[in-house]
Chain A
Amino acid sequence: MSLLVKNASKILMIIIATTILTGGFTSCKSKKKIAREKAAAEYELKVKQAKSDLTAMLNGTTKWSLDEQDSRLNAIKSYNIDDPEVMDLISKVEAKISMDRAEAERLAEEERLKREEAERKLKDASKYQEINNQLAAISTSTTIDAANKKIMLSMDQFASPDVPVLIIISQYGGVNDYDRPTTISKFLNYLKDKQQYKYNVESVKRDSLGKITELELIKK
């Protein structure tokens, strides 16, 4: 008994040391585990977020611009996520962004051409305004004599009374549909008879003397 009492302090010391050692080891092991679990959770979150973003980009439900989508895609790629679904989504989104970019470029080009065409038409409209005004003036003449005088004056601009006049009645797929071609002499008299000018000059061809050799009109 006295021996037990005598060694009690030693035993207590051993128990304390063992507890400290065991506890310390366990605590160190637990910290690593927590870190691992935390990293795994973060990775899972990243994968989940990547899948969500990639799916949104693929379905076109994101409001990101193409540049923003590109940058998000590059960020996802930099994570090197080893997940077959993510890898599949990445390749699909890459293809979609590339297609969307091509489509956006096509639309921008189309828009540019439309703008150019509108500008050209505006320029042409002002370029041909004088001819349009002269033709309209024949149709609004109040007497036959007045109309005939205007016809004579207008005729001076044309190479001959037989200069062809083409009237576009409709346009489809870049092709023009015309009325039966007529001559400038007949057309000017037609304006006098109809007392109506519902056309716009579309194009004019001139000879070396500046005289009109072909007049193309479009129905308004």
Chain B
Amino acid sequence: MKISYLWIAVLLVSFSLSATSQDELSPERKQAVDSLALEKVRDLSKYISIIGSKETPWSEANRVIDRAEELFMPDSEIGVSSLNNPENISYYSVRKYFERLMRLNYKKVEIEWYNIEYMSNLQKQPDGTFVGVITIFQKFKGYDAEGRLVYQDTTKKDITVFVKRKETQIGGRLIGFWDVLLGDMRVKETSK
């Protein structure tokens, strides 16, 4: 038993050392990549408030859904919770989540994200992808036709972020870019 614990410890240490040695980005570049990933989450925040808003025309909301979907890795899921049953968290595909959001049965919807920050910094993985977790707080407010606030909650959500260096040819030039994609968005807490 002792030997297996020791073996696990050695593996963990060697994995963390190897991850550190592979992280060859300068602090300035790392900061730029960190900011880019945060910016993508802020973009998502904006898209969610546009899609959720009842004032957004149908065609615009659908266009924004397309843009928002492009932010995610294929097969990513978004968690949804409710104060009525906070333990029961449902997970939807990204497209389905946005379509549900657009059709929510309120006359007016306000969605605001705040305290968007890294819970776990971007760490380089053996395949070269940087993976991190960004935490956000979402304040949701739903109003009825009379303008009364009929539902509100605050959810804390964790979003996995994947950043990978890629290259593409544009106008005969080789362009090196950072591809930021969001993974699953998991509900961590739901409160009033």
Contact = CB atoms under 8 A, between A and B. Distances in A.
Interface residues of B, number: 28
Interface stretch (A28-36, A67-75, A163-171): A163-171
Interface in A164-195: 164, 166, 169-170, 172, 175-181, 186, 189-190, 193-194
A213 interface: yes
Interface residues of A, number: 21
Contact of A194 (B31, B43, B166): B43
Interface string B2-30: 00000000000000000000000010110
Given A170-B32, A180-B178, A193 B170 contact: no
A176 B47 CA distance: 28
A181 B28 contact: no
A205 interface: yes
Given A170-B32, A172-B29, A181-B168, A189 B178 contact: no
Interface centre among A176, A179, A190, A213 (most CB of B within 10 A): A179
Interface in B37-80: 43, 46-47, 50, 56-57, 60, 63-64, 67
B178 A186 contact: no
Contact of B178 (A164, A179, A194): A179
B176 interface: yes
Interface of A: 144, 164, 166, 169-170, 172, 175-181, 186, 189-190, 193-194, 205, 213-214
Given A181-B170, A181-B177, A193-B64, 5 more contacts: A144-B60, A170-B29, A170-B32, A179-B177, A181-B168
Interface of B: 26, 28-29, 31-33, 35-36, 43, 46-47, 50, 56-57, 60, 63-64, 67, 166, 168, 170-171, 175-180
20 contacts: A144-B56, A169-B32, A170-B29, A175-B176, A177-B178, A178-B176, A178-B177, A179-B180, A180-B177, A180-B179, A180-B180, A181-B170, A186-B67, A189-B63, A193-B47, A193-B67, A194-B43, A194-B46, A213-B171, A214-B170
